[in-house]
Structure 1
């Protein structure tokens, strides 16, 4: 072969080799680097979005179990072109969606698939294999597909008042943690329920209905709530309390382990809750009410701290005491009073006469000052929207009658169940007031791609308000309440318990003209190294000892098993 021809062949070979190498490199790049993205683009060209949901960060409990953000509910996708039993499918959709049958039939005449969203159909409706299940024929139709539609909120509704809800757009929090930490939870993308169809509207084999998650939000949030304890509290409340609240705290850290209010609501159906005259959107754990005899804990603490009373001091109770021309009755009035009674037993039997006398000894300035330092009369710092500060009187303008009223938790004083939990935690942990903690950690959704590091919110340093000796005496006094006093129904057999009952006058009467009272029980367990403070409030529950104390015992017995000492 001539030399020139050989050179040309070699040159062409080099060119072909270079071109081939470039093609191989490009194919490798497409296959390995951008192949997935291109496949998604191709797929999305055939995708029809049936429902969208703005992406928000997840809300977790203390053990990283999801409270909001990743739940499933059954929904139905209808492919009109594949429907065989037009009448039965139209009847099902019309009934569950509340739409006229004619409009549904018109919708079925279009080839485009559509979604009957999660929550419209009840779960039993999807048991298509059961002969007795509703809509059995329609759900077995080849043009009907049952899917699991992702929803943000737990179908069981656990922690609704803590978690809160979002605005109608689904993008911004309006209450609870959703509002408090919206700057972390809100996202910019949308997740979609999408269906992949051919030109005739039939689902593509192997694709069908898919959930396209979208880009993650900035971060999720880890709370101090324990899902198991929260579920226990809500179950007990559903059994026993129509209107009221329960707060469970760890007095050692200030962690809020559970917070529930009744009536409750569904975060995915705020419209219904807004029309409910029972005001289910109100978080009663953060709302202020007269404390009644629960305030006697403050009176006893002030007297013991100041040395103006001892457990052995004796009072005479004739069933009433006159202060400045006003008669204040004890609940023992009809029986002629308690007679001679020690300060210790006055706590056990909640003697108004003894505590009014004690409060007059202590004086208004000391009482109000200690109440303030124990966290009453101001928001707790938990920062949830809607928290009320409550009310304390101005000591400078209080009359003797005002002091007498304050001694029994009446008059110009209101407190929230959360504030009472903070107060009782101070007694339980030896005199230290801790700010309640609800948020443990801000958790980046994608730590590898995020410029934001995980942020741990540590408990704040406590402030000493009471001496350890005063707290020891208070615990002894509160133990008599559950052992033989007004709160025996709150006794916990394993480890013991202590606390204080309260029946607070509301100023309202029932249909028979009898006064209505709120019921309280605030206490902690076990007696040695307490790890749970539990506050039970029952709106118009009448008797703290009969209504609220049994709820405390039931929650304490269950929660102590769920939250052992090792935690």
Structure 2
């Protein structure tokens, strides 16, 4: 027992020694910590004493900017050759922190922050008294927008009034305070009117409002981010931005030079002979790419609501707000997509293709045109009615001379059901799905409701409504071995570094006719330009092919017309297709005698386009026919004569 007590005593003594040594170490540790805390406290006291006001002001200043939205930059719209048609330019809004301004002011109200007010008034040309009144009306505001959309140069100039740098590079704040700059973007259209109704325009309030700006708004918009402020390890105010993703760029199939050429030709024509509408489309028949699309009248994308170019001051003064709004919508409408109309004789190749495919007619078959065809009690006239008709015609000549009765005869042989089916197969009555907003579907007769007289008038392009994209897409399939490609106007979506995010390649939708029928139609359409009603379109050295169209508009008594030409080059190896429309050409009320205007316009456009596109002359000297043809005359309406 005694031994146990001795052992216990020795252990206790040893434990006491360990505790004494540990206690000394803890005391030393506490002393070190106390010294460090005292040093840190001294440093903080020194900073507060020497720079406290500066940090307080910095934090207050930054509070107005923390958790602010950072706008994403909207993507560009480009032509296929890289020309920028729309872009966003970074600008700045001038913001005044009025609440802080009153807090900083130590002078009397009559001289409220004189340096700041004077600087703002002078630099941005703001009336001083109005500025002071605005400040007093918003005394509690941390965000008062004074000036919108200044350039970076203007911003830097004003910043120089707020911060002065000495010879040693040290920055010192001046008495111009509590002003900061908010980033924003302004949409720019460097070519004003170019491809206006295709590109469309954008506004801060509504986003994309027209054209590609609307159709591809989700791609162009991007994702806004946030910027916030904090005090870093060095007790400095730091800013950080999170989550901002700029919009993507839209690369169109539009060729800048093609677009420029067709618009220049449209304007030149209308300066001499104003029309209600003039529209031109150029397309690649082998892939559905729209290379050019323009209509007249047009508008300035940078000021789309300006009507002074279209109306006189007197006219605008007499218009109500609703009238002006309707006028703007009419001006913004893309004729090529959003207008439907009776196409007239440019529809005849569709009728011939259907008849050939169904075997109700073959190449070389003849028909005698007496100037009219009787259908269901109606005498439907040919434009050659006054001359006793065309006489005997081959199928090729029926296209060359634009004979209505031959087309009627073909529609009767096809029958209403089969004819209606082919109308649908070629895409009429349905949306093409072109990637532009506002497409109209047109009007056709369904197979179960089409009568014989309906088929008869439809066969030469009357009493059927189409849009330009439908008509040109159908025509392209007709000359491209029956291959109908999806019409489209955007080629790629790219990020800001030029990386392709999405491609829109050619999409074969269906086959509308056989390759053999297509080959015959290419020959017939070449003969129409080389020897028939479309001679005036011919461009020396080139095998231009196509078909004329003259349609009397609805409300026949008004005697208004829509004249057109649709065609392609080269004739047997189509590289481009073109469609030209003049709606209500000047001087044609009561007659279609000016239909030669659309042929001349088509010729002028092709004469400029073909060399640019690198399409070589392909006619021999013996094939070039430079003789002028008679103008295509009017197509009579079916109800002018009834038995």
Normalised TM-score (structure 1): 0.70
Match of 2:491 among 407, 423, 440: 440
Name the structure 2 match of 1:370: 422
Answer yes or no: is 1:176 the counterpart of 2:211.
yes
- Of structures 1 and 2, the larger Rg is shown by 2
Answer yes or no: is 1:238 the counterpart of 2:267.
yes
Retained in 2: the 8 A contact 1:441–1:455? yes
Retained in 1: the 8 A contact 2:72–2:246? no
Distance 1:486 1:80, change over 3 A: farther
Alignment of 1:539-550 (within 5 A): 539-541=583-585, 542=592, 545-550=595-600
Match of 1:302 among 354, 363, 367: 354
Match of 1:351 among 378, 385, 403: 403
Retained in 1: the 8 A contact 2:372–2:385? yes
Distance 1:369 1:414, change over 3 A: same
C-alpha deviation, 1:182, in angstroms: 1.0
Answer yes or no: is 1:416 the counterpart of 2:452.
no
Retained in 1: the 8 A contact 2:417–2:450? no
Match of 2:535 among 463, 488, 492: 488
Work out the CA distance in 2 between the residues paired with 1:104 and 1:460.
Answer: 60
Work out the CA distance in 1 between the residues paired with 2:498 and 2:269.
Answer: 44
Distance 1:565 1:349, change over 3 A: closer
Distance 1:447 1:237, change over 3 A: closer
Retained in 1: the 8 A contact 2:75–2:88? no
Match of 2:199 among 151, 154, 163: 163
Name the structure 2 match of 1:552: 602
Answer yes or no: is 1:531 the counterpart of 2:575.
yes
Distance 1:164 1:486, change over 3 A: same
Work out the CA distance in 2 between the residues paired with 1:116 and 1:55.
Answer: 15
Work out the CA distance in 1 between the residues paired with 2:199 and 2:282.
Answer: 16
Q: Which SS does the other structure have where 2:399 is aligned?
A: helix
Q: Which SS does the other structure have where 1:357 is aligned?
A: helix
Work out the CA distance in 1 between the residues paired with 2:415 and 2:529.
Answer: 28
C-alpha deviation, 1:479, in angstroms: 1.3
Q: Which SS does the other structure have where 2:208 is aligned?
A: coil
Retained in 2: the 8 A contact 1:380–1:419? yes
Work out the CA distance in 2 between the residues paired with 1:113 and 1:397.
Answer: 65
C-alpha deviation, 1:553, in angstroms: 1.9
C-alpha deviation, 1:529, in angstroms: 1.6
Distance 1:231 1:54, change over 3 A: farther
Work out the CA distance in 2 between the residues paired with 1:476 and 1:72.
Answer: 55
C-alpha deviation, 1:398, in angstroms: 2.1
Q: Which SS does the other structure have where 1:473 is aligned?
A: helix
C-alpha deviation, 1:443, in angstroms: 0.6
Work out the CA distance in 1 between the residues paired with 2:90 and 2:561.
Answer: 42
Retained in 1: the 8 A contact 2:72–2:247? no
Deviation per CA, 1:64-110, whole angstroms, max 9, x where unpaired?
2211116899xxxxx99899xx9xx99xx9xxxxxxxxx97977999
Normalised TM-score (structure 2): 0.62
Work out the CA distance in 2 between the residues paired with 1:531 and 1:562.
Answer: 13
Match of 2:435 among 383, 398, 405: 383
Distance 1:260 1:106, change over 3 A: farther
Distance 1:343 1:151, change over 3 A: same
Q: Which SS does the other structure have where 1:248 is aligned?
A: strand
Retained in 2: the 8 A contact 1:487–1:545? no
Distance 1:295 1:321, change over 3 A: same
Deviation per CA, 1:314-342, whole angstroms, max 9, x where unpaired?
22222222211111111112222222222
Deviation per CA, 1:438-470, whole angstroms, max 9, x where unpaired?
22111112579xxxx622221113522211111
C-alpha deviation, 1:555, in angstroms: 1.8
Name the structure 2 match of 1:519: 563
Work out the CA distance in 2 between the residues paired with 1:81 and 1:315.
Answer: 90
Q: Which SS does the other structure have where 2:330 is aligned?
A: coil
Distance 1:322 1:265, change over 3 A: same
Name the structure 1 match of 2:285: 251
Work out the CA distance in 1 between the residues paired with 2:119 and 2:292.
Answer: 49
Retained in 1: the 8 A contact 2:545–2:571? yes
Name the structure 1 match of 2:614: 564
C-alpha deviation, 1:562, in angstroms: 2.6
Work out the CA distance in 1 between the residues paired with 2:495 and 2:418.
Answer: 47
Name the structure 2 match of 1:194: none
Name the structure 2 match of 1:459: 506
Which structure 2 residue ranges, 5 or more long, are not aligned?
Answer: 1-58, 92-115, 134-144, 152-184, 226-242, 308-324, 586-591, 617-643
Which structure 1 residue ranges, 5 or more long, are not aligned?
Answer: 1-40, 74-78, 94-102, 119-148, 191-213
Retained in 1: the 8 A contact 2:117–2:128? no
C-alpha deviation, 1:427, in angstroms: 2.2
Work out the CA distance in 2 between the residues paired with 1:282 and 1:230.
Answer: 18
Work out the CA distance in 2 between the residues paired with 1:159 and 1:252.
Answer: 23
Answer yes or no: is 1:69 the counterpart of 2:87.
yes
Work out the CA distance in 2 between the residues paired with 1:365 and 1:551.
Answer: 38
Retained in 2: the 8 A contact 1:521–1:544? no
Retained in 2: the 8 A contact 1:488–1:545? no
C-alpha deviation, 1:392, in angstroms: 1.4
C-alpha deviation, 1:516, in angstroms: 1.1
Q: How many residues align?
A: 451
Work out the CA distance in 2 between the residues paired with 1:339 and 1:277.
Answer: 50
Deviation per CA, 1:476-505, whole angstroms, max 9, x where unpaired?
111121112211121122322111111112
Retained in 1: the 8 A contact 2:429–2:466? yes
Q: How big is the alpha-carbon RMSD for the aligned residues of Structure 1 and Structure 2?
A: 4.1
C-alpha deviation, 1:173, in angstroms: 1.1
C-alpha deviation, 1:561, in angstroms: 2.5
C-alpha deviation, 1:424, in angstroms: 1.4
